[in-house]
């Protein structure tokens, strides 16, 4: 197997020093390498931007960058590429400052033989790789911590959701997750790791049998107000459930499970049933009232809460000969206004509970033979 080529960039404005370094590397380097030489920092930065470079040999005395300026600029632009600085001055303070500015090593021209240069290059590359590995590890740890924090947040939201939520996986629809609200709805302490048919057998045949199709086709299923008898702490409880089951897909779009959201809507369903029953009873009561009013010999009429006539029995029409098509308000025109107004007021007061439940009134009514007769009217409250 051929060893990889080490790409070296030499930034040196002195042709003699550049030639010497090239010769030293050619004679004493035990690894394959490719040396590229430029004489300006600007050209070096352009080379770094355009080509892969493993290590930079950087002179600190360049026409366009004096001292540590060039090192700082190069390191700021390409912090991942190791840099070995070259200088003609053996200055420990400068060497330390260069290392603090980002250099991997410090070589003095004229004192560095091939062994030192090769060693510096190798160490610079290895340290650069080690630092990059450390940075990658730090990034991975940061990403892991971020994912862990996000997972913890989602888990908290999952547990605190106001609806029952569970996740089913596998051909047997095994519970992988179930929040406390779901367990409360189905009356179980724990269902994790159990197939649906074993953990909550009461749900069988209530629409949940469509779940296998959700796994195979990806089509969601749902139910509204589904009646169900659940075993809650040893007691049979009649409940009504809303549920929505959606497929869960992995990053490739493959279905790997089902998420079910279940809500206990028993109170809402029972409330609707009570309203429907009250309406039905009211309709039956009205039907019984009309049936009775149509068979008894007396005139029966009903006045609404605002004092207007709402119903007149057949005896009324037989008595005065009015047409059933005549508006109700006109059918009282031939009664005495004073009597009628008093009767309407009394009816309203009785309906409000401010008068006795039953009160008698005299009203003058004209019969079909045109004769006027005083009739007695009883106005019970509702």
Whether pTM exceeds 0.75: no
User: What pLDDT digit, counting tens, does each position of 211-244 carry?
Assistant: 888 888 889 988 899 898 888 777 888 899 999 9
User: What pLDDT digit, counting tens, does each position of 90-126 carry?
Assistant: 888 888 899 899 898 888 887 777 778 888 888 888 8
Q: Determine the average pLDDT of the residues in 330-343.
A: 56
Buried b (16+ CB within 10 A) or exposed e, 60-87: bbbeebeebebbebbbeebeebbbbbbb
What per-residue confidence (pLDDT) applies to 203?
A: 78
Residue ranges of domains in the chain = 6-135, 161-264, 296-378
DSSP state of 209: G
d(CA 235, CA 229): 10
What per-residue confidence (pLDDT) applies to 357?
A: 46
User: What pLDDT digit, counting tens, does each position of 26-56 carry?
Assistant: 876 677 888 999 999 999 999 999 998 999 9
Q: What percentage of the chain carries pLDDT values higher than 90?
A: 25
pLDDT band at 1 (very low <50, low <70, confident <90, very high): low
Q: Per mean pLDDT, which range of 79-88, 131-140, 250-259, 361-370 is the poorest?
A: 361-370
Q: Are 101 and 79 in contact (CB under 8 A)?
A: no
What per-residue confidence (pLDDT) applies to 307?
A: 57
pLDDT band at 346 (very low <50, low <70, confident <90, very high): low
Q: What is the DSSP string of 261-313?
A: EEEE-HHHHHHHHHHHHHHHHHHHHHHHHHHHHHHSSS--EEE-TTS-EEEE-
d(CA 117, CA 296): 125
d(CA 114, CA 98): 22
What per-residue confidence (pLDDT) applies to 271?
A: 92
Q: Is the pLDDT of residue 351 over 60?
A: no
Q: Is the pLDDT of residue 285 over 60?
A: yes
For domain 161-264, the CATH class is alpha beta
d(CA 369, CA 195): 85
User: What pLDDT digit, counting tens, does each position of 186-215 carry?
Assistant: 888 889 999 988 888 887 766 667 788 888
Q: Is the pLDDT of residue 4 over 60?
A: yes
Q: What percentage of the chain carries pLDDT values higher than 70?
A: 82
What per-residue confidence (pLDDT) applies to 297?
A: 82
C-alpha 123: how far from its chain's center? 51
Closest CA to 62 of 44, 46, 50: 44
Q: Which CATH number fits domain 6-135: 3.30.590.10, 1.20.1640.10, 3.40.640.10, 3.40.50.2300?
A: 3.40.50.2300
**Averaged pLDDT of the chain:** 82
Closest CA to 310 of 321, 318, 302, 319: 302
What per-residue confidence (pLDDT) applies to 95?
A: 86
d(CA 64, CA 73): 11
User: What pLDDT digit, counting tens, does each position of 14-30 carry?
Assistant: 998 899 888 888 876 67
Q: Is the pLDDT of residue 259 over 70?
A: yes
d(CA 228, CA 374): 63
């Amino acid at each position: 197997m051929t060893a990889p080529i080490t790409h070296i960039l030499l930034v040196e404005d002195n042709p003699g020093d550049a030639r010497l370094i090239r010769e030293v590397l050619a004679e004493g380097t035990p690894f394959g390498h490719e040396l590229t030489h430029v004489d300006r920092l600007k050209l070096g930065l352009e080379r770094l931007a355009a080509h892969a470079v493993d290590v930079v040999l950087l002179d600190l005395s360049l026409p366009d960058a004096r001292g540590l300026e060039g090192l700082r600029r190069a390191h700021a632009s390409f912090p991942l590429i190791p840099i070995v600085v070259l200088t003609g001055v053996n200055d420990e303070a400068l060497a330390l400052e260069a290392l603090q500015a980002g250099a991997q090593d410090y070589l003095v021209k004229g004192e560095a033989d091939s062994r030192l240069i090769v060693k510096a290059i190798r160490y610079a590359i290895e340290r650069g790789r080690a630092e990059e590995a450390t940075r990658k590890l730090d990034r991975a740890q940061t990403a892991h911590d971020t994912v862990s924090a996000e997972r913890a947040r989602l888990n908290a939201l999952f547990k605190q959701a106001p609806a029952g939520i569970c996740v089913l996986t596998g051909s047997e629809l095994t519970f992988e997750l179930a929040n406390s609200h779901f367990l409360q709805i189905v009356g179980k302490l724990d269902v994790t790791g159990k197939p649906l048919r074993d953990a909550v057998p009461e749900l069988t045949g209530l629409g949940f049998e469509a779940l296998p199709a959700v796994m195979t086709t990806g089509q969601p299923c749902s139910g509204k107000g589904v009646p169900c008898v659940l075993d809650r702490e040893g007691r049979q409880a009649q409940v009504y459930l809303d549920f929505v089951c959606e497929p869960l897909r992995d990053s490739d779009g493959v279905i790997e499970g089902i998420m079910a959201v279940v809500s206990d809507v028993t109170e809402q369903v029972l409330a609707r049933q009570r309203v429907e029953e009250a309406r039905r009873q009211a309709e039956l009561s009205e039907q019984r009232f009309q049936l009775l009013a149509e068979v008894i010999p007396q005139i029966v009429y009903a006045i609404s809460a605002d004092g207007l006539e709402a119903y007149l029995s057949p005896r009324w029409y037989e008595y005065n000969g009015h047409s059933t098509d005549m508006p109700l308000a006109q059918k009282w025109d031939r009664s005495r206004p004073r009597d009628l107004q008093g009767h309407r007021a009394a009816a309203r007061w009785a309906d409000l509970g401010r008068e006795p439940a039953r009160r008698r009134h005299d009203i003058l009514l004209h019969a079909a033979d045109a004769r006027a007769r005083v009739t007695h009217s009883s106005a019970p409250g509702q």
